[in-house]
Amino acid sequence: MKRAISRVLGILLAGLLLCGVMAFAVSAAITTTPMVAAGGYHSYVLKSDGTVWRWGYSITTRPEITDATYISAAGEHQSASDFSHLLALKNDGKVWARGENTYGQIGDGTLNYRSDAAPVPGLDGVISVSAGGSFSVALKSDGTVWAWWHNSVGQLGDGTTTGRLQPVQVQGLSNIAAISSGYVHSLALHRDGTVWAWGGNSDGRLGDGTTDNNLTPVHVQNLSGVAAVSAGGSHSLALLNDGTVWAWGSNGYGQLGDGSAANQPLPVRVGGLSDVTAISAGSGHCLAIKKNGTAWGWGNNYWGEAGVGKDLYPRTPVQVRDISNVISVAAGWRNSLAITSDGTVWTWGSKHYPYPNLDRNYTPVRAKNPEGSGDLRAFPPPKPKTIFSTNVVSTVFNWILFFLGFGWIWMWFI
């Protein structure tokens, strides 16, 4: 009788143990990494719940897209509104797009403006996307890169200047880990830490030592050990594993950060930056995040987009004012965005339409919630941790269940 009771209790406790483990697994589930994307006339935030929200020229009061894991907005590299489109990667590896489609950059086989997001046909297994000036690029899980539409200077990297309404494979690329597209050029980071570039090159933005356009990818010279890349309007950035930042291409606004105004067809080190963890290149300015959570800006600051006060063209990095604990940044056309560790979204630079007189903020301000009142947040603020917090109690409870359940299950087999 005693043994039978022990077996019954063992089964019950084993069931409780299983439920506890399942609850712990659900509570520990990884959510979407929040991020921001700055377009020409729109700004976007991807929240931790996978929803995408838009504000600026028009404002969404409901999610633009759901189940997203990554976003990229065009328009950050130029002024023409018909270059403003959004790409969003969903958790099933599909790419969705919305916005201007004058050159077919949406990839739906038409040239019609799309107000609501729709899937791009013929793309599966995608792990990253990048919206270029009038073209789009996608990276697949097999390390290949695909691109579609406007191709006047080789933006698609397929060896031609023929526009494509459907995605075509960029030639000569494999084992690619990351991509980034500018106005008319793109960068690809190889898994071996080298960088490849293709498209327009009038100011040396491809980094091959020339100013010749390239219809297929060329090797960016004098770079190795690269951890991240970002393509700006007419310049390029690379973050190395050692935390330094390098730049090449156009430098009229000081966007290369080397203290000069001379274009550079080969990478030069951005002055005064170390311990960098993230970078973003905009139309004529750049942003970087350091390990200590500070943000730094340089280049064009006419609209306040560098976030460093009223210095119009800082040619070396200056710390962005009034913001700390930064975890994500996006450099746009005339504006910039950031997310801080408490989930708050910040914006500075040109205020989007419908603000009067294209007013500007020279330092960061909190973005307003498009859903209603209050500040816009990419995720809920962290709750204070105490010894009696839900997570701690849940963890202790699960361990108690584990040991009790194990003991009763052992007794069952005695």
Residues 378-414 pLDDT 10s: 998 876 655 444 454 455 445 555 445 545 454 554 5
Q: What are φ and ψ of residue 96, in 5° steps?
A: -115, 150
289 phi-psi bin (left φ>0, alpha ψ -120 to 50, beta other) = beta
> To which residue do tokens 């409901």 refer?
62
Helices (H) and strands (E) in the chain, counts: 2, 27
For residue 172, being part of any structural domain is answered with yes
Q: Give dist(CA 160, CA 333) in Å, integer.
A: 28
Q: Is residue 290 in some structural domain?
A: yes
- pLDDT of the residue at 250: 98
**Model confidence, pTM:** 0.84
Q: What is the mean pLDDT of residues 306-329?
A: 97
Q: If pLDDT is split at 50, 70 and 90, which confidence band does 155 have?
A: very high
Amino acid making up residue 121: P
| Dist. CA 240–CA 51, nearest whole Å | 31
The answer on pLDDT for 14 being more than 60 is: no
pLDDT at 321 over 70: yes
**Minimal CA–CA distance to 240: which of 277, 207, 206?**
277
Per-residue pLDDT reduced to its tens digit, 261-309: 999 999 999 999 999 999 999 999 999 999 999 999 999 999 999 999 9
> CA nearest 333: which of 254, 233, 252?
233
**Is residue 386 in some structural domain?**
no
DSSP assignment letter at 189: E
Contact 197, 187 (CB under 8 A): yes
Amino acid occupying residue 414: I
Q: In the prediction, which pLDDT does 384 show?
A: 62
- Going by pLDDT thresholds of 50, 70 and 90, the confidence category of residue 23 is very low
In a domain, 14, yes or no: no
Question: What is the domain count for the chain?
Answer: 1
Q: Which two tokens stand for residue 326?
A: 């930064």
Considering the domain boundaries, does residue 129 fall inside one? yes
CATH of the domain at 119: 2.130.10.30
Residue at 333 is within a domain: yes
Q: Which domain holds residue 374?
A: 32-378
pLDDT of residue 20: 45
Mean pLDDT of 222-239: 97
Mean pLDDT estimate for the chain = 83
Calculate mean pLDDT across residues 49-56.
89
Q: Please write the tens of the pLDDT for every residue from 55-93.
A: 876 666 678 789 999 999 885 444 434 346 889 999 999
What percent of the chain has a predicted confidence (pLDDT) above 70?
Answer: 75
CA distances from 27 to 7, 30, 389, 395 (A): 30, 9, 13, 10
User: Per-residue confidence at 239, pLDDT binned at 50, 70, 90?
Assistant: very high
Which tokens sit at 258? 């080397």
Domain-embedded: residue 121: yes
The whole-number average pLDDT for the span 163-179 is: 96
- pLDDT at position 231 over 80: yes
3-class secondary structure per residue, 218-261: EECCCCCCEEEEEECCCEEEEEECCCCEEEEECCCCCCCCCCCC
